[in-house]
Amino acid sequence: MSRIGKNPVEVPNGVDISIAGRVLTAKGKLGERQAHLSDEVEVSIDDGKVWVKPRSKSKSSRTMWGTTRSLIDGLVTGVNEGFTVTLKIIGVGYRAQADAKNLNLQLGFSHDVAYPIPEGIKITCPLPTEIQVHGADKQQVGQVASEIRSYRRPEPYKGKGIRYDGEYVLQKEGKKK
What pLDDT digit, counting tens, does each position of 28-78 carry?
A: 999 899 999 988 899 999 888 999 999 998 888 888 998 999 999 999 999
pLDDT tens per residue across span 127-153: 999 999 999 999 999 999 999 999 999
Domain boundaries, the chain: 9-80, 83-164
Whether 9-80 shares its CATH topology with 83-164 is answered yes
The CATH T-level fold of domain 9-80 is Outer Surface Protein A; domain 3 (3.90.930)
The architecture that CATH gives domain 83-164 is Alpha-Beta Complex (3.90)
What percentage of residues in the chain have a pLDDT greater than 70? 99
Asked whether 49 and 8 are in contact (CB, 8 A), the reply is: yes
SS3 2: coil
Averaged pLDDT for residues 4-31? 90
For residue 20, the one-letter residue type is: A
**The whole model's pTM is what?**
0.87
